[in-house]
Structure formats: C-alpha cells, structure tokens
A and B are shown apart, each in its own frame.
Chain A
Amino acid sequence: MKIVVCIKQVPDTTEIKLDPVTGTLIRDGVPSIMNPDDKGGLEFALRLKDQYGAHVTVITMGPPQAEAILREAFAMGVDRAILLSDRKFAGADTLATSNTIAGALRALEYDVIITGRQAIDGDTAQVGPQIAEHLDLPQVTYVEDLKYDGQKTFTVKRTTEEGYQIVEVDAPCVFTALASGVKPRYMSVRGIVEAYDKDIEVWGFNNITVDEKKIGLSGSPTRVFKSFTKGAKAAGQIYEVDPAEAADIIVNKLKEKFII
C-alpha cells in the first residue's frame, strides 16, 4: 500500500500573543509547527505502515523553510518527503493550492491520500476535499478513527459536532483527519539523528501535472475585500459543577454585571 500524506507548516497559534495596544497578532518569534490535524493524519499513515508495511510519502507546499516539518516527518518514520516550492505556486488560495497538490499527486503512486481536516492558521477545511474532487476520488472527511481490512476496504469513524458515522470506503480514496482521533508518535532519537541525512525532493512546476492557469495567484479566485481584527475578549472561566449550581453562578454573574 502506498500512502501520501499532505502536511502544512503553520504558526503555532497557541503561542501567538495579541499586541495589547493595536489588538493585532504578534507573529514575530512564533514557532512554526506541523499542523496538528495533519500530524494526526500522518499518525494514521504510520500506523498502517507499522501494521501492513505501507510506504508513506509526505508532501508539503511552501517556502524552503517548510523543510523543517518534512525532517520532523522523517524522524517520525516516513519513507519519502517532497517539498513543492516554486515562485509559480505563490499567492495561492485554497483552490490553487489544491490544484497544485493534486498536480503533484498525479505524478505519484498512491492508494490512500490523507490530509488534515483543516489548518490552524486558515481554518478553511477546503484543501483536502478539493484534492479529492480534482482527482475524482471518494473522500471521507473528519476522520477520527480508521481500520483497514488488509485488502482494500477501510472502516472509518467520521466525527462532527452532531455525532459520528461509521462508513466503509475502498481505496483509492482521500481521508481528512482530526487531531483528536490519535496521539501522534514522538520522533525517535535515531530518526532525528538520521533525518538530516535523508533527501528531500524539491518539486517545481515542471515536476507536476497541472494547468498553469489553475495555480498561484492567477488560479486563485478568492478576493479579500476587507480584513479586521476581532475585539479581544477576556479569558472565560470554567466551572465544573452540577446544572443547578451552574445556573446560580450564571444568574449571579449576570446580576454582577447589571445585565439582569
């Protein structure tokens, strides 16, 4: 079985602070990490490798420094890593991004493609489903658990806010994974020691199969009309109490603030 996992480097939003004066995000010095849902998807792939000897490739689109998460993926145990990096890819919205990645996937062999549900910087949850559409593959989104029958069928638990569904799907297919479903493994020490001796393939436009008009800025129909900063809210308080006591607390708080 061949699995390709699409991963993205994102700023660690848990480390982002707000400028108290301007209310804008301070991004300086914020560490970059592998997007948590993508890491969950990578863990699913590595478990299939442990159990069935799957070959796992990771692919990311980004600037040269995105190499860091590919090294991390090597240290976690992947077999191959590809960095999609080309000026022609720049300025891409989700559609152009998914076209670029699908273009790369056309040049790869795969039985399963796994992406994260969404990235913590953009939160669109669009790229995974779009990749499936471009490649005309069945997709299961919001995957919290998956089991493989060793032949070609996956039994997948997909979880949404309303509940969960158990669905079956045959490879080839696309999954978008939830970080909550699995605890990603740590990098191994040996994996780390060897991670920088491995080759990362850098692919540009010439390595992939896609119409140039569908990528980069020109392939991006999204237009941002206006962006604004949401007013900062104070941290809430969490009370773990029974409903009757909770109701009292809420009533008292509302009274304190002269709302009721």
Chain B
Amino acid sequence: MDFSLSKQQNLFLQMIREFAEKEVKPLAAEVDESERFPIETVEKMAKLGIMGIPFPTEYGGAGGDNQLYTMAVEELSRVCATTGVIVSAHTSLCCAPIMENGTPEQKAKYLPKLCSGEWIGAFGLTEPNAGTDASAQQTMAVKEGDHYVLNGNKIFITNAAHAHVYIIMAMTDKSKGTRGISAFIVERDFPGFSIGKKEKKMGIRGSATCELIMENCIVPAENLLGQEGKGFSIAMKTLDGGRIGIASQALGIAQGAMDETVKYVKERKQFGKAIGQFQNTQFQLADLQTRIEAARLLVRKAAYKKDMKLPYSADAAMAKLFAAETAMDMTTKAVQFHGGYGYTREYPVERMMRDAKITEIYEGTSEVQRMVIASNLLK
C-alpha cells in the first residue's frame, strides 16, 4: 500500500495550487458578494483542460483520472467553493454520465465540446416534489415519432444559467415507477426549454443555481441517454460519482478554513500571547486536522476505486458524509477562532461556513449517505 503521491500528481498539484491561488482566490469574495458566475475563471480552466480532467483525449479530455479530478476540486474549493462545484457538477453530473452511458454518436457530439470547456454541463433530477425521494419524478417525456416531448420543472440546478447541455430525468412510463424514468441529453436551445428563477442562496453564491422549465420541450429521440427506463439507475450511478466531487469540495473548504485559521491563531494575540499558544486552540485544531486528513484518505480511496472500476458507491457515500460534516465543523470552529472578526466579511471564514453547509445537503443529504452506507452494510 502506497500513500505517496506520484510525480505526476505532484506536478498537477503544483499547477492547480498556483492556479487556485493566483486566478481563483482573488475573485472569491467578490463572486460570493455579487452572486456572480465566474465565467472568466471557467474560460481559463477550459484552456488548461480542467473541465475535462478524467476523460480520454479522444473525446477532448485531458486523459487524466479521478484522482487528479478530486485534487482539482479540492484545491479550487480550498479558495473558492463556487468554482469547485462548477467543475464538479460539470464533470461528474454531465460529462461522466455521457461518457459512461452515451452511444458513440452522443459521445462524439457532446464530449469534445464539454471536455474542452467550450460548453458547460448541468444535471436535472430534483423537482419541487422530488428531492431526497427522487423516484417521485413528475417531469414527463412522451415519445412522438422521432422525438420526445418533455414537460415539467427541475429545481436547484447548479450551473443552470450558464450551461449548454443538461442531463434531464423524466418519466417515460409512470406505471413502472423508478423503472419508468429515462435520461435525456437536453441542449439549452431545444424548443420549449428555458431557465427559470435564480435561487438566492446562503453559500456557493456564484454557482448560478436556477430552475429549469420544460414546456413541450422537443428532444430528438437520439438524445435518449441509455435505454428507456434506465434513467433512475443512471441518475443514481451518476450521483455516486458526483459524491466524490462534492466530498472533494467539502474537503477543500475544510482545508481552506484550516489554512486561514492556522494563519490567524499565529498572529492574533490575546492575554499577551498568540491564541495558537493556548492548549484549547491546539487540541481543537489537532482534532480537526485529523478529521481533514481522514476525509482526504476517504476521498482518495473512493476516487481510486472508481478509477479501478471497482464498486465504490458506499466509499463515495462515506467520503461525502465525512468530508461534509468535517467541513461544517471546521468552518464553524474557524469562525469561532476568529471571534468577532470571523463573523464579518473581512475574513474568508464567514463565507466558508456558509459554503460548507450545502455539502451536507446536495447530491444526497448526509441522511441519504447514511442510508447508502447502511444498506450496503446490511444487504
């Protein structure tokens, strides 16, 4: 068992850390404050191949793997969780299901544009009445000749306002329950497709989270992803992969908050000494750092299993559950260590605490992760 990073991984970290520090961090506060999608950052990432890390070069990807992808999401999220989730949703929720379920034609048509970052991807499963109970889909898809007609609304869609391609789940046969759900590749220019209201969120405020509206939306039959009735299974497998991305995002947020806290407790003096010299500070930081490192190992293990094509559903759930709860605790304590300053937007930990919360909710709440882990344990 080898825990050391390869030379290639070290070279990658050198690049992504420098990129995050110089190109992403300076925008993070403003992107949050103004709820602005950092499109210029996406363009820069596209040029470097960050929008298609784990996909083969024949489809315009960088030819890397999920290890590099998780490192990218972690390092980006360490300075800006918005940027981290833009990459994660695009890669795990749109590119990956096309890569894994698409026909050769679908892959050839969509992946080069997505992997090069010319197009941004998104994913639509959640509906007003289908959150954790994703099987309660109300969006309908009816086949009419050479196309399907989709009707329904999707909500809380990351990247929605800036995406070009959406993986949309819809009922093709309501009588079959989850086996009646199908997946579709929907382009934003398809007739009857539009973007609805933008959410005003607590955190990850730059990620352009919106509603998707389909009113008699015409989707060519060849844009059915996988077979009819396989949509729910595609969605669940996609979310397994997505959880590795969100776990990486949570890990990055936690590490970022730790970085800020370490810097602060060394500088901030009270009662005549740096607050980092108090054992109360030291013990709490030691516990948190231990959890961050444990989260990192869970993330790396889940990514490794996905790369090795081993079953990784429970590993991804454990990584996400643990990393998300670590991020929430770490950021909450980071604010506490910063005291009154931490509660202001003078310091980034306030933003990090708001950003951390979503990692316990989206792509399966922490409760869902526990369900996945337990069902795997008790099967």
Contact = CB atoms under 8 A, between A and B. Distances in A.
A188 B49 contact: yes
A72 interface: yes
Contacts of B68: 189, 192-193
A196 B7 CA distance: 8
A72 B13 CA distance: 12
Given A75-B15, A186-B15, A186-B19, A193 B50 contact: no
Interface string A216-254: 000000000000000000000000000000000000000
Contact of B53 (A72, A186, A189, A195): A189
Contacts of B7: 68, 71, 196
Contacts of A195: 8, 11
Interface stretch (B57-65, B118-126, B134-142): B57-65
A64 to B, nearest CB: 13
B11 A190 contact: no
A63 B64 CA distance: 29
B18 A192 contact: no
B48 interface: yes
Contacts, number: 52
Interface in B27-60: 47-50, 52-53, 57
A196 B8 contact: yes
A49 to B, nearest CB: 16
A72 B10 CA distance: 11
B6 to A, nearest CB: 8
Interface in A165-220: 186-190, 192-196
A71 B11 CA distance: 8
B62 A187 contact: no
A197 to B, nearest CB: 9
Contacts of B62: 188-190, 193
Contacts of B72: 189
Nearest to B12: A192
B199 to A, nearest CB: 31
A193 B19 contact: no
A190 B11 CA distance: 12
B57 A187 contact: no
Contacts of B15: 75, 186-187, 189, 192
What size tier do the contact residues of chain B reach? 20 to 34
Given A186-B18, A186-B19, A192 B11 contact: yes
Interface string A64-82: 0000100110010000000
Interface residues of A, number: 14
A71 B8 CA distance: 9
Most buried by B among A75, A192, A193: A192
Nearest to B8: A196
Contacts of B14: 72, 187
B11 A75 contact: yes
Query: In terms of DSSP, what is the predominant structure of the interface of chain A?
Result: helix
Contacts of B63: 190, 193-194
A195 to B, nearest CB: 6
A186 B63 CA distance: 17
Interface string A37-72: 000000000000000000000000000000010011
Contacts of A194: 63
A188 B48 contact: yes
A193 B64 CA distance: 6
A72 B48 contact: no
Nearest to B62: A189
Nearest to A72: B11
A7 B68 CA distance: 27
A189 B14 CA distance: 11
A189 B49 contact: yes
Contacts of B18: 186
B47 to A, nearest CB: 8
Contacts of A72: 11, 14
Interface in B1-29: 7-8, 11-12, 14-15, 18-19
B12 A190 contact: no
A76 to B, nearest CB: 9
Nearest to B50: A189
A89 B254 CA distance: 48
Contacts of B11: 68, 71-72, 75, 187, 192, 195
A192 B10 CA distance: 10
A190 B19 CA distance: 15
A192 B19 CA distance: 14
B64 A189 contact: yes
Contacts of A188: 47-49, 62
B259 to A, nearest CB: 16
A195 B49 CA distance: 14
Contacts of A71: 7, 11
A193 B14 CA distance: 13
A68 B11 CA distance: 9
A195 B9 CA distance: 11
Contacts of A190: 49, 57, 62-64
Contacts of A75: 11, 15
Most buried by B among A187, A188, A189, A194: A189
13 contacts: A71-B11, A75-B15, A186-B48, A189-B15, A189-B48, A189-B68, A190-B49, A190-B57, A190-B63, A192-B64, A192-B68, A195-B11, A196-B8
Q: Name the 10 nearest CB pairs between A and B, nearest first.
A: A189-B49, A189-B62, A190-B62, A187-B15, A193-B63, A193-B64, A190-B49, A192-B12, A188-B49, A188-B48
Interface of B: 7-8, 11-12, 14-15, 18-19, 47-50, 52-53, 57, 62-64, 68, 72
Given A186-B18, A193-B68, A194-B63, 4 more contacts: A71-B7, A189-B12, A192-B8, A192-B64
